[in-house]
Structure formats: structure tokens, C-alpha cells
Structure 1
Amino acid sequence: MEKAKKQLKLGVFLAGTGHHVASWRHPQAQPDRSLDFAYFQQLAQTAERGKLDMLFLADSLSIAPDSHPNVLTRFEPFTLLAALAVVTSKIGLAATATTTYSEPFHIARQFASLDHLSGGRAGWNVVTCSVESTALNFSQEAHPEHSLRYKRAEEFVEVVKGLWDSWEEDAFVRDKASGVYFDPHKWHELHHKGEFFSVRGPLDTARSPQGQPVIIQAGSSQTGQHLAARTAEVVFTVQNNLSGAQAFYKSIKDKAAMYGRSPDEISIMPGIFPIIGETEAEAKEKFEELQDCILPSVGLGILSFFLGGFDLSPYPLDGPLPDLELLATNAEQTRFQMIKDMAKQENMTIRQLYKSFASSRGHHIFVGTPVQLADIMEEWAAQGGADGFNLMPPLLPEGLDLFVEQVVPILQERGSFRTEYTGSTLRDHLGLPKPVNRYAKQMTRG
């Protein structure tokens, strides 16, 4: 009997006019779409029509003149996802929220509320915030050091999960005759006292439809991998080739086992930046049209950002990257190392590097036909490089429309992607169990 194909998990990362840094300059683009709710509604409903697992929104709390245009002005994620919950019914709704410049009670309350509003479709992308200037927006003079940010994040996640267990499933009796509104034995104060946080609880939100919203993590450094292996149920990652993706996949799954978790509890979903054409030639033409929209100053600014602010302007664009072996950064570690590796191993010039990173920020760039994209996705999944993908269309709405209309049917016909939703929550879509309340566990064991 032929072995059933691995079922792909698919999310779409929504970003204004698209993920390409110059997408707003494309002739088809409407540059003001980042603040157009009707536009996001259209994207969300397209993704749901394609039976995708989730929508994903990134976030940042600091901007600069050379920030991606889609970042300079955009909706706050919770507000947008709450609105999208009303105009969709099945697709998951995931957003980034930082553990560095937030408090656990706020985050626990916001995501529990979103889970209730959406009928169990919320997901939290846990990040530690890599933008150093964010400190200046939160009454701090310096951004916390990398390892300290992750140490805080570990405690933060544990506090949030504890708050999500404040109420057991059947805590609210609401018996009018007796006047009993809730069972006091099923209300639980957390009384957490740790290195970073002191939180009494309980949360003023009932246990949510999923029990707990899905935990997503996006750090790929060794510290980030350990956090993901301990706490995450989905991992977004930057991988630009299969061998690198396989190494990362194995690393996360092995670390999960170290922490006593089943590797199947975590889905690895690399970002993919798809340029789709009816032919390879058409796809390449589309890609070059976008690449030609990148201003050198913008490309250099993005590359410098990922190099921790290193100034590349004195160096020739068609020359090699300067020696950065002694350069350290407190910003994002993974892309910093990826740039150095690409420059060294692929002998890329500064111009080639900024064109690559300005377009996809290090994610795998696919240029080809719908069939070729389906082939690549299935190959990565079959070869232990991914459980699915987080789609990053370079130009929206075209990129999402083409994927849903031309790639999804191929995957469905091949049996590697659903033809209908079989559940109503994000956990259902991802094949994740509903967590048992820790206090109910204690009672059962007792």
C-alpha cells in the first residue's frame, strides 16, 4: 500500500503591498493598502477560500526612515485580527507580541480575548524584539542583551500559560436559583514570583475555546531554538536552502525530545517567498521587475540593519562584503550569520547581498511555475526540511491570489493538502491537542 503523503501546513504572512521591499513601487501596487481594512478582509477571505491554516501578522514597536514601507504605518495586530475574526470563520489568526516590552497579564488577556472572539482561532508568535531602538520608546536607555531577553521570555511564556489556566473549563455555574455564579474551587490564583515577574492572577477572562491559544516562536539562534523546543507548537524560521532547513528541523525536533516533548508537537514552517508565473521565464521576468524597483540606498540600509548597523556606504557595491568576523551584534543573530555565510560561501557582492535580503530578508526565494512550487514544498516536507510553510507573497494581492488559485489545487489533487477544513479551531487545523488545565490535571491525579 502506498504511504500517505505528508499533509502540509500553510500560513500566509500578510504585509501591506507585499513582502518585497519595493513592492509599493510596482505598477500594480496601491501604496496605501497597509491601512485599508477592506483590503485585509479581501486577503483574509482569499486565504480562507484556499483552506490555509492561518493568517500571520508581524509587529514592531520602533521604526526608522529605512524601515520597510509596510512597517512605517500599519494596523496594531490585535485590533486588525479582532476585526478579521468577524469576516472569517475558520482560518487561524496569529500575531506577534514581544516579551521584552510587554507584561504577561496584558498578553494573556489579549490572546485569550482574541481566542474567544474568533471561536478558537488565536495564535501568539512569541518574540524577544531584535530592534535596539525599541528601548527608547519604553522609557529605557538600552536594549536588553540577547541572552537576557530570552531568559525573560522563558519566564514570560510560563506566566502567560499559567494565567490561561486561571479558570477550569466548567468553573462558571451561573445558577440563578442558588445565586452561585462560579465554583470557587475552579478559580486559581497563580501567585508567580520569579526573576522578572511577580503576578498574582487570576486572569479576568474565562478559559478560551482552545484551552490555550497556539504558541508560535520565530527565533532561530541557539537560544531561540531552546525556547522553541521548550514552549512552541509552531516554529517560523528563515531557511534559504534544503540542507540548512533539514539541519534546523532536526535540531528543533531533537531539542524537543530533550525537554520531554514529542517532536510531533512542533510544526516547523519556514518562510517562502514565491514568485509564480505560467512559465519559468515569466516568473523570472516578474522577479526582475520587482528587483529593479529597489533603490541602492534602501537595499544598503536593510543589509546594514541585519549587520547590526554596520555602515556599508564606503564600500563598492560590486565588491565583496568587508571582513566582519570580529563584528558582534545585539540585534538578530540568525540573519547576521546568514549574511556572512552567503558572502563567504557564494562569493556574493554587496549589491547581490542587498538585492537578496532587501527582497526576502533571507527567506527562500522561489521563482517558477505552480507545479514547480508544489514540487519544492512537497520535497522539503518529504526530506525532513519542513512540516509546512509560511507564505510571504512578494506582491499582494497577486501573490496570494495565484497561490490559492493555481498551487493549492495541485497540492489538493496530490493529496498533500486539505480540500476542506475538518475542524473549527487553529489547533484542529494544525493537529494539536487541546491542553488540559493544570489544576484539573492535579485533581485527576489526586
Structure 2
Amino acid sequence: MTAPNGRGLLHLAAAVDQEAAHDASAHVELARLAERGSLDFVTLGDTFARPGLDALAVLARVAPETTRIGLVPTVTTTHTEPFHVQAAVATLDWVSRGRAGWCIDVSTTEGEARLFGRRHAAPADALWHEAGQVAEVAARLWDSREGDAGTREGDRPDGRDRLHRVDFAGDTFAVRGPSTVPRPPQGHPVRVVDATDRHARATAARYADVALVQGATPARIGAVRAELHASALAHGRDPDELRVLAALTVDLGDGERAAERGHGGGGPRQTPQGPLYRGGPVDLAELITAWHETGTADGFHLTPVEPRRDLERLVNGTVALLQHRGLFRTFYPGSTLREHLGLARPANRYAVTGGTP
């Protein structure tokens, strides 16, 4: 679908992180609110660096309480077993009926490494290279069961096995396969990478369906988007298959009051934690509209400072205004996260080639 300015409709997503919440009902409430605004997906962060609930498990609890909103937990690839990671993400796709995503992240500190005791911390470049290999083997494992393949092999009419060994050897792990979980409803759950850090960009360009980029100016976002698209093309991908979302933290506590200097129409303010917008939901809609018209990004990922308050003002104010202007949809045209994002369901590589790629 096309917006009145001739560009595609915006994609909008929001974080539902609540560090003090240890009851999934708080996350259910926010996810339902985001769904009421027809947002593409919500994210829930996770890290080994601080205590908290497991993001994937929380969103698995949110899944049956929602019907359309995409659910994207952070799952770290460092110190974890790739086979278990892909199985958990595939399971979330099943329990959500095709609404799962996976925000890929790495663990860089020695303190986090000591939690597992397997190896020391490694440089960011090496960890993101490993994360790319995990993303690759996950896709192969998701394809390793054709259709509704069970545990039997050689059950196709043409005699070809429905189950496929992966036999993948990475720098730090090896996986044989096949997966223990049937192929996910989306084929491949949506892979998301925060590409703000330059170390993550090669992995994002090669494997991500959605890249998040923090930036206080359209020029900053646009430059990284161009870099990601060029790198995706170099890896043999169609750049149009990569959605790039500008990532901002938003503080809508001022209600309808004009944004502070350096915010609103003047753009977000850069802080040590990243770009911060502070103002009202109408001014935020103006900012989003202006950036969208320049072709800066395919949409926005917004992190509320005050989750309940700001998400409600975002949905009831900013999103409603963007819908009125014809820049954002008023309903979900499909049922899966890939459909929300306008991404095709990947073909099964083994069904196409009949063997190991």
C-alpha cells in the first residue's frame, strides 16, 4: 500500500520493556495497547548483564492474549546453544500463530562470560560474526523439516527424505540437525538486528529482515540505511527485503505542550543513552511525517520512557494522527508478522534443491 506522499506506508513498532515488572500481565497490557494501534510488532529486551525475566518466555505468555501484534524478544547468541535458540524461536512462532520475531544480540563483557564459565569475553567483531553464523544455521534448521515432517525419514512419494541434516560447522559450534520443532508457520521467524553499532552491520545486512538504527537526525539514519542496503546487495540480497527502522526513545510526558528546544520539529536530542524525543504526541507525529517524507527510513521503533503513559499517548495521539493522514494503516491486512512488514514467506531451501545447500 502507498501513502499520500507516494511512499509506502510507515512501519511502526514499540518496546514494552518494564524492568520492575515481574508479572506477565503488565506486558500483556502493553502488547494489547500496541495491537489496538495496529503496530507491526513489540520488542522485549533481554540481557545477561542484569537480572530480569526471560524475554522469550514472557512473550510466549503474551501470545495467547493477543491476536495480531508481532512479538519480538531479544535472544542472545553468545554463550547459548544455537540449536536451542532456533527451537525456542520456532516454538514462539507456533504458539503465536506466525507472529514471532527474534532480536539478535551478543554478550560482550567478562562478567557475563563468567555466568557460563565456558569461555572468556571476545571482541565485538568476532561475536557479531558468530551471531551471523547462528542466524544462518537457525534458518537451515527451520527448513530442515519439510511441511509436516515427523520423525520418519524417506516418507515422500518420490522417495526423498522430508528430514534433512544440516551439518553446519561454525567457528565456535557445530550443528547436525534436523530441528526437533516443525517448520515455523512463517517459514523463518522475522530476524531483527540493532545495527546502530558498526560491528553489527554486516550481520544485519546479510541476515536481518529488520534493522534498527538509532540517530538524532535524518541524515544519520539515511547514511546507515544506505550502507546497509549496499552491503545487502553485495551479499546477493534484494535491499528491498530489509526494513530499516529509525529507533528513538520518546518521552510524551508533556502531553500536548510544544516540544522542548532540540526536540519536536528540531529533531530528537542526542544523549548518552541514544536519541531522545521529548514533547507531545502531535509534535512526534510531525517529526515522523517529516522524516518519512525524506525517505530516511521505512518506519520507526519507539521506546517509551514511561511505558504505560507514553505508549497510550503514542497510540491514542501520534498513531491516530498518522492514520488520519493516511501514513499508517488502520487495521492489520494479514495475520503474520511477515505480512505486517510486507515480507514474503521464504521458500524451504531443501524442498527447492532437494539436498544440503
Equivalent-residue separation in structure 2 for 1:229 and 1:128 (angstroms): 16
What residue identity is the alignment partner of 1:280? R
The reply to whether residue 38 of structure 1 matches residue 25 of structure 2 is yes
Shift of 1:124: 0.8
Structure with higher RCO (Cα < 8 A, 6+ apart): 1
Q: How does 1:266-281 map to 2 (within 5 A)?
A: 266-276=242-252, 277-281=254-258
> Which protein is richer in helix relative to its size?
1
Structure 1 residues 181, 230: CA separation in 2 closer, same or farther (over 3 Å shift)? closer
Shift of 1:189: 1.1
Aligned to 1:60: 47
SS in 1 for 2:307: coil
Equivalent-residue separation in structure 2 for 1:369 and 1:154 (angstroms): 39
- Residues 92-148 of structure 1: CA distance to partner in whole angstroms, max 9, x if unpaired? 000111111111100110001010000001101111223442111010463112222
Instruction: Return the match for 2:309 from 371, 381, 398.
Output: 398
- Residues 188-246 of structure 1: CA distance to partner in whole angstroms, max 9, x if unpaired? 11122333222111101111100010111113333311111111110112212222111
Aligned to 1:221: 197
Structure 1 residues 366, 194: CA separation in 2 closer, same or farther (over 3 Å shift)? closer
Aligned to 1:105: 83
Aligned to 2:11: 9
Aligned to 1:411: 322
TM-score (norm 2): 0.89
Aligned to 2:241: 265
Equivalent-residue separation in structure 2 for 1:160 and 1:16 (angstroms): 29
Shift of 1:423: 0.4
The reply to whether residue 249 of structure 1 matches residue 225 of structure 2 is yes
SS in 2 for 1:185: coil
User: Over aligned residues, Cα RMSD in angstroms?
Assistant: 2.5
Q: Please tell me whether the aligned partners of residues 173 and 182 of structure 1 are also in contact (alpha carbons under 8 angstroms).
A: no
Aligned to 1:373: 284
% same residue: 34
Instruction: Return the match for 1:84 from 40, 59, 62.
Output: 62
Q: How does 1:168-317 map to 2 (within 5 A)?
A: 168-171=146-149, 183=156, 185-276=161-252, 277-281=254-258, 284=260
Please, which moves more after superposition, 371-380 or 392-401?
371-380
Aligned to 2:338: 427
Aligned to 1:116: 94
Shift of 1:173: 11
Equivalent-residue separation in structure 2 for 1:402 and 1:249 (angstroms): 28
Aligned to 2:266: none
- Residues 253-283 of structure 1: CA distance to partner in whole angstroms, max 9, x if unpaired? 11111112111111111221222334435x5
The reply to whether residue 153 of structure 1 matches residue 155 of structure 2 is no
Shift of 1:443: 4.2
TM-score (norm 1): 0.72
Shift of 1:151: 2.2
- Residues 161-181 of structure 1: CA distance to partner in whole angstroms, max 9, x if unpaired? 11111111253599xxxxx99
Larger Rg: 1
- Residues 359-381 of structure 1: CA distance to partner in whole angstroms, max 9, x if unpaired? xx11x222233232112112222
What residue identity is the alignment partner of 2:163? W
Equivalent-residue separation in structure 2 for 1:278 and 1:61 (angstroms): 35
SS in 2 for 1:35: coil
What residue identity is the alignment partner of 1:440? A
Q: Please tell me whether the aligned partners of residues 202 and 231 of structure 2 are also in contact (alpha carbons under 8 angstroms).
A: yes
